[in-house]
Amino acid sequence: MRRLVSLLLFALLIPIGTITATQNVSTIDDLIAQATTAQLDKDPTWLKLLHYRKKVFSRQFSSDIVSPEFFLSPEGHLSPKAEMDATLMALLLSPSENNNEHAQCTYPARYMWLSSQLKLENTDIPKIDCQNFKRWSLNGEVDSISVLFASGYLKNPASFYGHILLKFNKEGEKLSDDYLDRTLNYGALLPPKENEFNYIMRGLFGGYKAAFTDHYFYRHNHRYTQTELRDVWEYKLNLSKQSTDFLVAHSWELLGQKYVYYFIDDNCATRMADLLELVTPEYIFPKHTPYSMPFTVFDQLVEQKVDGKPLVTKVRYFPSRQNQFYKSYSTLSKQNQAIVKCLAEDFNLKTNKKYQSLKLKNKQIVLDTLFDYVGYQQARNDEKKYKVIKQQLLIERFGMPQSARPVLDYRPSKPHEGQKISRLQLTALKNSSHGYEGEFNFRPAYYDLLTMNQGRLPNSKLTMFDIQLGFGDKSVWLNKFDIIAVETLNASKTHLPGDTQRAWNVRFGFEGEDLKNKRNTVLSLDGGIGKAVALSKINVFVMLDGRLQMGGEKGHVAINPRVGFVSTPFEKWRSTLSVGYRQYLDGTQSGEPVIAFKNRFGNSRRFDIQVHYLVHVEQELKVLHAFYW
């Protein structure tokens, strides 16, 4: 409808008498002249409202939004000037039978901004009652805006790096009331039951459309923390009422509008950063950055200030159902932990003598922890089985006096406190065969087993396009290029039934065949499964890895059983050890020990020192200096 109206106006198909009856032509001419003189079509805010970018080679504007109905001018996708003229004309149209279709109602942010830039006091702009927008924006009662970060989720490639969304906070509400706050989400529009391989391939090369959607906060909180067992952090922003209203208005304009989705650089982080940059004092992402990560958005927000005050006023933590159980279990006495473990194996409360012998207060504490445990298991295992058990616990709990549950004291590290995601690493090493050499490593993102865990999955690795070059003896060669490498130990913290998941890893890329033949790189696909157990400050694992490789002289199929640990003995020292034995199944040579002992020293967000000792045919001792940004 909107595009049809603009086409009619631009083609001058509406009779002059009709135009005169519905709008003031001299007013339109005057406003367009004002906007042209002020070059408003080149203003950064206008370009952001239409999501224009300059094409790299032609330097012409093109909007990232691909929905034709978003534009009022037929040339609006490519012309900021044509879209501004069409917007001014549409804003002055008299109301129709359905006021909600008027440009003031469908483009409230455009109207707000143009009203602040042009002299509208003596114009004939009609006053439109935009009921749909008023209801959606809570009648202007949105008091503040928060940015939410959901931690990474390795079961879904779309969420490897975490997720970001906005939350609109209503004025005067309590924390317990905010689950009905409206949220704005951005994501790819996927077909039902899309497999992971298709998602990665099509996501990398723009095979999907994506759009903004809105839901109540409780829905996202339930999905992330209760179902997917992901932690969520809320960063509340210090914005003026005018900036808040402006951001809400533009969010309304974007609902349902489609973009082309790219997994690496046109994702939720990109689009939310574009939206936030309407009201933040500085850019969040450098322009033309080749990749966008949700973590970077929060890293930048906490560094910005508004009128000398921090842009982020508060950070709130919503624990996953898993971490809620872990925290509840860790606060129990040893006696109560033993009873919880016994009941987790057999939920028959009536026959458990140790439980029955507890005092009332301890029974309540044990039941509260069992509720957390059952909720955690429902998210991971047989929903029907644990639903019955939950009913039994409820019956038992309702038979006791009402009592308030002690508040659990969570003190998690915040995502922005971890190391920055991009890394440049310089290495000096001595190889037992080649002598002294150097290495240069660049990793765009994200983290590994030695990285500080703030806001990331603990004891996990997720890197992409990690390239390592060796140099020495007046030559340079490719040591390693990990296209993607994912690993997670999934270490059990309680040793209760069901609190164990498989440790696993997968890697695809190029690397030297061994430390003696480093320059003979092979293409390989590696993967493995195993188990891990948390023991105080150390996580011990056992893995069985397999490998398929192209090239090389030793074979094409190999297995590599290995054991090891990840440990943080002190705050500024983190260590990993992996001891394995690689055997090629289609080769003639005997197996090879493969050992990697790696240490990180320091806990700076910007740099660290690492020392590695490696064994694979030859030995290497490395000293690495890493810079993060």
pLDDT given for residue 176 in this prediction: 64
- d(CA 330, CA 325) in angstroms, rounded, equals 8
Residues 289 and 349 in one domain: no
> Is the confidence at residue 3, as pLDDT, over 60?
no
DSSP for 70-83, written as a single string = G-SSTTTTT-HHHH
pLDDT given for residue 265 in this prediction: 85
Residues 128 and 20 in one domain: yes
Q: Which two tokens stand for residue 558?
A: 């190999």
Identify whether the C-beta of residue 325 lies closer than 8 Å to the C-beta of residue 375.
Answer: yes
Residues 8 and 86 in one domain: yes
In three state form, how does the secondary structure of 415-446 look? HHHCCCCCEEEEEEEEECCCEEEEEEEEECEE
In a domain, 528, yes or no: yes
- Closest by alpha carbon to 598, among 589, 584, 608? 608
pLDDT given for residue 551 in this prediction: 84
**Domain termination residue (choose one: 283, 318, 353):** 318
Q: Which two tokens stand for residue 71?
A: 């534009």
Residues 341 and 250 in one domain: no
Task: Check residue 84 and give left, alpha or beta (phi > 0: left; psi -120 to 50: alpha).
Answer: alpha
Residues 43 and 187 in one domain: no
In a domain, 36, yes or no: yes
In a domain, 304, yes or no: yes
Identify whether the C-beta of residue 279 lies closer than 8 Å to the C-beta of residue 247.
Answer: yes
Residues 306 and 325 in one domain: no
pLDDT given for residue 462 in this prediction: 92
pTM above 0.85, yes or no: yes
Residues 438 and 522 in one domain: yes
For residue range 565-623, what is the model confidence (pLDDT) as tens digits? 999 999 899 999 999 999 999 987 789 999 999 999 999 999 999 999 999 999 999 99
Residues 408-437 have a mean pLDDT of 92
In a domain, 291, yes or no: yes
For residue range 100-130, what is the model confidence (pLDDT) as tens digits? 999 999 999 999 999 999 987 667 788 899 9
Number of structural domains in the chain: 4
- Segments forming the whole domain that contains residue 269: 138-318
> Is the confidence at residue 254, as pLDDT, over 90?
yes
Residues 33 and 66 in one domain: yes
> Is the confidence at residue 230, as pLDDT, over 90?
yes
In a domain, 583, yes or no: yes
> Is the confidence at residue 547, as pLDDT, over 90?
yes
**Domain termination residue (choose one: 133, 164, 194):** 133
pLDDT given for residue 26 in this prediction: 54
pLDDT given for residue 286 in this prediction: 73
Residues 291 and 160 in one domain: yes
For residue range 477-496, what is the model confidence (pLDDT) as tens digits? 999 999 999 999 998 889 89
Residues 148 and 90 in one domain: no
**Domain termination residue (choose one: 271, 292, 318):** 318
Residues 333 and 219 in one domain: no
